[in-house]
Structure 1
Amino acid sequence: MLPLLISSQIREADAYTIANEPISSVDLMERASKAFVGWFCNHFQEKKKAITVYCGTGNNGGDGLAIARMLSEHQYKNINVVVARFSDKASDDFNTNFKRLQQTGIPLKEVKPGESLPEENSPIIIDALLGTGLNKPLEGDYKRLVNYINNLKSTVVSVDVPTGFFSEGEMPADAIVLKADLVITFQQPKINFLLPDSAPYIDCWEAVNIGIDEKFVRSLNSSYQAVEEKDIRGLLKPRHRFSNKGTYGHALIIAGKEETMGAALLSAAACAYAGAGLTTACVPKSGLTALNTYMPELMAVIRSGGEVPAIEWDKFSSIGIGPGLGKQDDAMGLLADVLANYEKPIVVDADALNLLAANKELWAELPENSILTPHMKEFDRLFGEHGNWWSRIQTGLEKAREHNIYILLKNDYTITITPQGMVYFNTTSNPAMATGGMGDVLTGIITSLLAQKYTPEEACIIGAYIHGKAGDELSRPNRLNVVMPAQLAARLPATMAKLMA
């Protein structure tokens, strides 16, 4: 796992690296600036274009001054620097790099409080004004400067963090932030980069390694972690000789009604493709022909006339409930029956989540270590309205602990929240997967993994990863604009085989 640090931990890790490598703080700044410039040069190769570097007077500004000097050394012909002297304070490393810059002949302007802003015509702007640690909205001269730059048509590349952006914590809805086309950030992404609240301010980001002591970073035991491919390779269990269908469990998918059988088919198929030894779908009688035609490997428990069928609960290793189930009385009866008779963790999705939200008395029956898989609106129905994603994570941590459940909160970087207080961000998936039915596939995958005796935490982490990875494998090499859920489900065996190779 890649630890994701809050601002105070980033400063702590910097200080530890400086003290124990050892390296001076200004030399660590030099190394970070070199890493930035290396990535920048590979992607912005036109060296005659004008570039203006906007610098504050703290360490982020010091990075900017060093970056300007290095770009000039790399033969970029038209570098300009603007220093925002909006404070009497300046960091020691900023002052060191300011003196170094003055020796280069690079054009330098300083702007002081209340002064007119210089006319800006550069097509590329590098933002090194404030960096991490901001915990209040911009105001005064910084706000004026950021609004000015935002109204230009320049490409903006931010150093570490866009000015005005909070690395973690709640972003005010009306925050003034310098909108970045690209952020080149140091060591690891900031937590808020991975939340949808960042979308209006950051088009894309790239993390560059600056040599922070990784062993110390891991010792900080951050509650926030990004899942890496090596983690999934270590968790997946290859199939062995002399195993049989019983080795890999029997999963039950309770889903679908007459009008929404597609959700049941997708979820059950994904469950089988992800490796459950046996998969049974509990579907309405009208859907049996569709089930048999779609995937003859699936078995069925038939629901008829709105009655709850008699089910031998003990024969199932795992249960997923909700996709396309509806919210009528029979759906409520099915959910209540599961909760009353099944003691192992279950996967609760879609309409089953909405039933939980509307019938709070059901919470007491929810088996420990069950997995809830809401998207944003379903999450808010369950736990109340939220103004931003950071507050959803904090509520998720509270509710996961209170009910001893796992919450898989779906978005670009799907978030697994555990009752032990951990938050795992998935790092696979792409916009081509934004298609109805993808959530049904994910429910089937997680139910399948539970049947195969993965822990609920492993099922969430692996399930989200291989779901996104299969989508990536379908989309990126073929430049597909849309990946269909049925395609993705069928891709799962190949994706998992590659990861276990």
Structure 2
Amino acid sequence: MQTLLTTAQMRMADTFTISNKPISSVNLMERAAEAFVTALLRENLGYDKAIAVFCGQGNNGGDGLAIARLLFNNHYKNLKVFIANFTAQQSDDFSANLQRLKNLPVDIVAIQDVAEIKNLQTTTIIIDALIGSGLNKPLTGKMEALVSLINGLNKTIYAVDVPTGFFAEGVLPANYNGIKAFKTICFQRPKINFFFPESVQATEQFEVMDIGLDESYIQNLPSIFKLVEISDIRKILKPRKNFSHKGTYGHALLVAGATQTMGAAILNAKGCLYAGAGLTTLSIPESGLATLNTALPEVMYAAREGLGNHAAKYNAIAIGSGLGTSVVAKTLLEEMLLLKRALVLDADALNLLAKHQELLVLVSSGSVLTPHVKEFDQLFGKHNSWYERLATASKQAVKLKSVIVLKNQYTFIVSRGGMVHINPTGNSGMAQGGMGDVLTGVLTAYLAQGIPAEEAAIAACYFHGKSGDDLAVDHFNITASQLAENIPQVVRHIIG
């Protein structure tokens, strides 16, 4: 897994790399500029495009100056560089790159005020290199006015490392007044806040480029934020061995559905079935038995009455999808909690816990809670930002000794130790009902196969999102059933 860093830690990584590679600061800046230009050239902008590069006077501005020079050397001649001369200070690397750029026939305009900016109507592309990741307060004064002007031009904006005005980590201000980029090309690691929904105000997408910082040093820095990689998934789920059988892959029990919500239960079971549980049993109201036998003949049925008496034969138990919040549903949840076993708690199980907080003490160590944002806030209190929400999730996971899977486009898997593992797969085409039911089924299947809770949650989220990503190549939107049925192909492709 990749360790994600704060701004201060990234500066430490820069300093360590400069001291130990060895490489000078200005040459590291050159490497960053080369990486940015490499990514930008893949966008196929066209050599005739008019490009305006806006630079501050710090190191982010130095990056911008180096980028302008490299673009000119790559046959982009229609360039104009604006330097926001709003302070008397310049970083050394900015000054060095300014001298290098002055050796080329590139139009450089130093501005003291926004009113001095002229003739940008024909500009197609804007590169934002005004302020880097060190900012920790909203923009004000001349810089706020400049950013407002840039955003108002409605041009395609590429940000260098971080959009000007965007906080790399920490609570994001409610009224964002920074650059609104089409794409941010960042260096070595994504910013922690890029994974939160609030980031859509600042950048539609981001790409990470390696600039050769010392990876060993980075990986050993303390951080609760980790980014899941495909190599992690291959360590969790292994190819199936010869002579294995249905008993090898566990028996999963799913307690789901009510008379009018049988679809949630079926999707729950589909996720479990297609994720490879050896045996899947679905406990639903008897009225849904015909639906189950028709839709999923491979899945067994268990009556609700006396369900807890037979719990010992199941390797993993999930409860909640489409269960409802009736008195009967609450009694059933209590029965499962009193088994004193680790459970997967989803959907209406979480709604019942939120309504009856006294039941939280019955949640056994090693359980997995899978809330979406509304369920999370109902359970743990209202939050004003995703950064605050993750802080609460980290504390509650430790308190409950359970894993919390906080669903998002980039889902957060919070371990019992409070570590936040960020799942990189998934897309907006998956924004349809039933996806959470499928995810719970997949997760329960992996638990039934004997995979530990944190690892099972990480693998389930990864394959769930990857199935959606693969389908999104040819589909505008994806149904939960499609996603579940595609999981075996995704696993085969990755695991072999």
Instruction: Identify the match of residue 362 of structure 1 among 354, 359, 362.
Output: 359
Distance 2:140 2:174 in 1: 15
Letter in 1 for 2:185: I
1:181-214 CA-to-partner distances (Å, cap 9, x unmatched) read 1111111211111111111221111111111111
**Tell me, what secondary structure is at the counterpart of 2:260?**
helix
Distance 1:168 1:29 in 2: 22
Letter in 1 for 2:393: G
Aligned residue for 2:370?
373
**Tell me, what secondary structure is at the counterpart of 1:264?**
helix
Aligned residue for 1:44?
44
Structure-2-length-normalised TM-score: 0.97
Displacement of 1:387: 1.1
1:73-99 CA-to-partner distances (Å, cap 9, x unmatched) read 111121111001111111110011111
- The correspondence of residues 318-467 of structure 1 with structure 2, limited to 5 A, is 318-341=316-339, 343-467=340-464
Aligned residue for 1:140?
141
Displacement of 1:272: 1.6
Displacement of 1:115: 5.7
Displacement of 1:37: 0.8
**Tell me, what secondary structure is at the counterpart of 1:258?**
coil
Letter in 2 for 1:408: V
**Tell me, what secondary structure is at the counterpart of 2:172?**
coil
Aligned residue for 2:158?
157
Q: CA RMSD in A?
A: 1.3
- The correspondence of residues 75-90 of structure 1 with structure 2, limited to 5 A, is 75-90=75-90
Displacement of 1:474: 2.0
Aligned residue for 1:31?
31
Aligned residue for 1:235?
236
**Tell me, what secondary structure is at the counterpart of 1:400?**
helix
Tell me whether 1:208 sits opposite 2:195 in the alignment. Answer: no
Letter in 2 for 1:486: S
Letter in 1 for 2:302: V
Distance 1:25 1:351 in 2: 55
Displacement of 1:473: 2.0
Distance 1:290 1:73 in 2: 66
Displacement of 1:235: 1.3
Displacement of 1:114: 7.3
Aligned residue for 2:128?
127
Letter in 1 for 2:323: L
Distance 1:187 1:23 in 2: 16
Distance 2:462 2:41 in 1: 32
- The correspondence of residues 207-286 of structure 1 with structure 2, limited to 5 A, is 207-286=208-287
Displacement of 1:237: 2.3
Displacement of 1:243: 2.2
**Tell me, what secondary structure is at the counterpart of 2:65?**
helix
Letter in 2 for 1:416: I
Distance 1:205 1:85 in 2: 28
Runs of 5+ consecutive residues of structure 1 not aligned to the other structure: none
Displacement of 1:44: 3.4
**Tell me, what secondary structure is at the counterpart of 2:253?**
strand
Letter in 2 for 1:124: I
Letter in 2 for 1:327: T
Distance 1:183 1:244 in 2: 48
Displacement of 1:46: 1.1
Could you tell me whether the CA contact under 8 Å between 2:114 and 2:146 is conserved in 1? no
Aligned residue for 1:484?
479
- The change in CA–CA distance for 1:293 and 1:206 in structure 2 (over 3 A counts) is same
Distance 2:154 2:269 in 1: 49
Could you tell me whether the CA contact under 8 Å between 1:308 and 1:333 is conserved in 2? no
Distance 2:117 2:171 in 1: 30
Structure-1-length-normalised TM-score: 0.96
Instruction: Identify the match of residue 488 of structure 2 among 478, 484, 493.
Output: 493
Distance 2:92 2:9 in 1: 21
Letter in 2 for 1:226: L
Could you tell me whether the CA contact under 8 Å between 1:117 and 1:145 is conserved in 2? no
**Tell me, what secondary structure is at the counterpart of 1:43?**
coil
Aligned residue for 1:174?
175
- The change in CA–CA distance for 1:238 and 1:182 in structure 2 (over 3 A counts) is same
Displacement of 1:302: 2.2
Letter in 1 for 2:411: T
Distance 2:486 2:125 in 1: 41
**Tell me, what secondary structure is at the counterpart of 2:212?**
coil
Displacement of 1:434: 1.1
**Tell me, what secondary structure is at the counterpart of 1:391?**
helix
Distance 2:361 2:105 in 1: 71
Distance 1:263 1:234 in 2: 31
Runs of 5+ consecutive residues of structure 2 not aligned to the other structure: none
Distance 1:446 1:422 in 2: 19
- The change in CA–CA distance for 1:313 and 1:112 in structure 2 (over 3 A counts) is same
Distance 1:310 1:425 in 2: 34
Could you tell me whether the CA contact under 8 Å between 1:288 and 1:302 is conserved in 2? no
Displacement of 1:113: 5.4
Could you tell me whether the CA contact under 8 Å between 2:176 and 2:201 is conserved in 1? no
Distance 1:475 1:344 in 2: 37
170-179 or 115-124, which deviates more: 115-124
Over the matched positions of the two proteins, sequence identity in percent amounts to: 48
1:299-345 CA-to-partner distances (Å, cap 9, x unmatched) read 11123xxx66554111111111101000001110011000112x332
Instruction: Identify the match of residue 313 of structure 1 among 311, 314, 319.
Output: 311
Distance 1:382 1:310 in 2: 25
359-368 or 269-278, which deviates more: 269-278
217-226 or 47-56, which deviates more: 217-226
Distance 2:126 2:155 in 1: 6
Letter in 2 for 1:359: H
Letter in 2 for 1:326: G
Q: Number of aligned pairs? A: 495
1:139-188 CA-to-partner distances (Å, cap 9, x unmatched) read 11111111111111211110000000011111011121100011111112
Distance 2:11 2:400 in 1: 35
Tell me whether 1:111 sits opposite 2:108 in the alignment. Answer: no
- The change in CA–CA distance for 1:384 and 1:57 in structure 2 (over 3 A counts) is same
**Tell me, what secondary structure is at the counterpart of 2:284?**
strand
- The change in CA–CA distance for 1:309 and 1:39 in structure 2 (over 3 A counts) is closer
Could you tell me whether the CA contact under 8 Å between 2:271 and 2:438 is conserved in 1? yes
